[in-house]
């Protein structure tokens, strides 16, 4: 007797084409938020130079940006439950656009507080995108290839982070900033005029970004994206708390530490390369080297996507995390080209970590996938806290910037544990 539930081959083919189209469309989003996020690595040292900020003060760029994930991740998950993944993506893009446009008045006033406010709005939009797009990609196809699929799309996120420092270096780091001693010689009006002139270099890039984000929102609004009701909770109160999923809870810690370590390294790379014992490089040249750090992540994700078709995600994650800790330790204990090369290579082994932790964390959550995604994205607040602690260590005379890299090492060691043991799906009582 013929199975009445079997789908015709033509229907399956149409569904696969729809999924492929959705995957291609969403890949552009991953590129955009990667590009926008990595510009913080250019804006932070730029503002540090023109506003004469300490390492800890400069880290507030990342604090403002990534603390928004903590504030808006759960509301974003509720937005998905109340509307749809597609609507949430459109809302996220429009919010990002508003945040980008706010850079214009912030630059006109040369106000650090206004810059931080604009970053919060921008990050709020990215938070909504992250909460919606990451699980959408993960469940848009067979579960056994979820990590591979998310790594592939995240590779284009890394393409954005690779291009971002290069373009940001060209358009934002357009002039040589004055030293602290030179700034102290300027009168108050002259100092403010100097700050406004230097800060104005961010206007054109962020205006263009804002317009592009709004255009993307319009395009996606009119696109047909497949709905995935099995990964969305509407009016259903789960019998089991999310916190009882041990692999999810430990994954939240893993995302917190991974993003914190990655952002801490990226934020201070330009200043790290400026150190006399490391590279003694000017900012613009250091910005180009930051592209290699993020470019390594892009290459690693393409390679990782293929490897994850054959090897268990947890195993690959554990090996990558141990490799990252070894590379950071090498950079911390050496100087010159070896220190530079080893820290840049961390980007390559970082590559598969976020998508791997994410897919391991939401495994087997079913209709709770959106809410689980909200918790994991909320943990990106590690990108605010770890760099701040890193900056505080770097400001300490007994530690300094070179040896502050001890902090990311501990982060990577935990991630290795999660990949090899903590990520196994199990539910506590």
Query: Which pLDDT band holds residue 179 (cuts at 50, 70, 90)?
Result: low
In the predicted structure, residue 178 carries a pLDDT above the cut 70? no
* In-domain check, residue 124: yes
Tens of pLDDT, residues 261-279 = 998 998 889 889 999 999 8
Burial letters 27-44, b for 16+ CB under 10 A, else e: bebbbbbbbbbbbbbbbb
Least confident of 9-13, 137-141, 229-233, 372-376: 9-13
**190: pLDDT confidence band, cut at 50, 70 and 90?**
confident
Task: Pinpoint the alpha helices (H) of 275-395.
Answer: 283-307, 313-333, 336-350, 353-361, 369-378, 382-395
Among residues 399, 313, 85, which one has the least CA distance to residue 220? 85
* pLDDT at residue 6, rounded to an integer: 45
Three-class secondary structure of residue 52 per DSSP: coil
Residue-level pLDDT at 7: 45
Residues 85-131 have pLDDT tens digits of: 889 999 999 999 999 999 999 988 888 899 999 999 999 999 998 88
Q: In this predicted model, what pLDDT tens digit does every residue of 35-75 receive, in sequence order?
A: 888 888 788 878 887 777 888 888 888 788 888 888 998 89
Instruction: List C-alpha distances in Å: 2 to 12, 312, 315, 321.
Output: 17, 36, 42, 50
Q: Mean pLDDT over all residues of the chain?
A: 84
Does the residue 4 lie in any domain?
no
DSSP SS3 for 427: strand
The answer as to whether 12 is a domain residue is: no
Q: Are 206 and 104 in contact (CB under 8 A)?
A: yes
Give the CATH number of the domain where residue 334 resides: 1.20.1250.20
User: Tokens in use for 148?
Assistant: 């591979």
3-state secondary structure of 245: strand
How much helix, strand and coil, in percent to the nearest 5, is found in the chain? 80, 0, 20
pLDDT for 416 equals 96
Q: Is residue 189 part of a domain?
A: yes
Asked if the structure places residue 204 within a domain, the reply is yes
pTM of the model: 0.73
* More reliable by pLDDT, 364 or 341: 341
Domain assignment present for residue 233? The answer is: no
> Which one has a higher pLDDT value, 28 or 319?
319
pLDDT at 229 (0 to 100):
61
How many domains does the chain contain in total? 1
pLDDT of residue 138: 73
The 10s digit of each residue's pLDDT in 210-243 is: 999 999 999 888 887 776 665 556 555 455 677 7
* 231 in a structural domain: no
Instruction: Count CB-CB contacts under 10 A for residue 222.
Output: 7
The residue segments making up the domain with residue 268 are 18-222+240-422
Residue 4 banded pLDDT, cuts 50, 70, 90: very low
> Does any domain span residue 355?
yes
User: What pLDDT is attached to residue 1?
Assistant: 37
Residue 12 confidence (pLDDT): 45
């Amino acid at each position: 007797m013929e199975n009445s539930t079997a789908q015709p081959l033509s229907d399956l083919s149409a569904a696969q084409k729809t999924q492929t189209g959705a995957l291609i469309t969403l890949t552009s989003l991953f590129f955009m938020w990667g590009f926008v996020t990595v510009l913080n690595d250019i804006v932070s040292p730029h503002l540090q130079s023109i506003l004469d900020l300490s390492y800890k003060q400069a880290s507030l760029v990342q604090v403002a940006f990534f603390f928004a994930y903590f504030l808006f991740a759960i509301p974003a998950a509720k937005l998905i439950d109340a509307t749809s993944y597609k609507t949430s993506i459109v809302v996220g893009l429009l919010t990002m656009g508003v945040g980008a446009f706010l850079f214009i008045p912030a630059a006109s006033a040369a106000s650090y507080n206004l810059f931080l406010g604009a970053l919060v709005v921008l990050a709020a939009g990215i938070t909504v995108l992250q909460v919606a797009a990451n699980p959408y990609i993960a469940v848009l196809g067979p579960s056994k290839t979820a990590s591979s699929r998310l790594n592939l799309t995240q590779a284009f996120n890394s393409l954005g982070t690779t291009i971002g420092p290069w373009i940001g270096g060209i358009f934002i780091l357009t002039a040589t900033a004055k030293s602290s001693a030179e700034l102290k010689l300027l009168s108050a009006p002259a100092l403010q005029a100097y700050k406004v002139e230097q800060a104005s270099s961010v206007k054109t890039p962020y205006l263009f970004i804002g317009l592009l984000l709004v255009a993307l929102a319009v395009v996606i609004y009119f696109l047909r994206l497949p709905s995935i009701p099995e990964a969305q909770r509407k009016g259903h109160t789960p019998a089991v708390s999310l916190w009882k999923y041990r692999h999810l809870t430990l994954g939240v810690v893993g995302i917190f530490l991974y993003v914190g370590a990655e952002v801490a390294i990226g934020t201070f790379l330009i200043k790290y390369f400026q150190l006399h014992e490391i590279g003694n490089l000017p900012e613009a040249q250091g910005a180009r080297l930051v592209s290699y750090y993020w470019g390594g992540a892009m290459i690693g994700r393409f390679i990782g996507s293929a490897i994850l078709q054959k090897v268990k995600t947890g195993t690959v994650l554990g090996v990558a995390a141990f490799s990252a800790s070894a590379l950071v330790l090498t950079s911390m204990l050496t100087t010159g080209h070896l220190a530079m090369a080893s820290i840049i290579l961390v980007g390559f082994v970082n590559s598969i970590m976020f998508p791997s932790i994410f897919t391991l964390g939401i495994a087997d959550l079913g209709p709770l996938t959106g809410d689980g995604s909200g918790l994991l994205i909320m943990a990106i607040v590690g990108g605010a806290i770890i760099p701040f602690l890193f900056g505080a260590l770097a400001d300490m005379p007994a530690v300094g910037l070179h040896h502050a890299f001890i902090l990311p090492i501990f982060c990577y060691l935990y991630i290795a544990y999660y990949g090899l043991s903590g990520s196994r799906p199990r539910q506590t009582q």
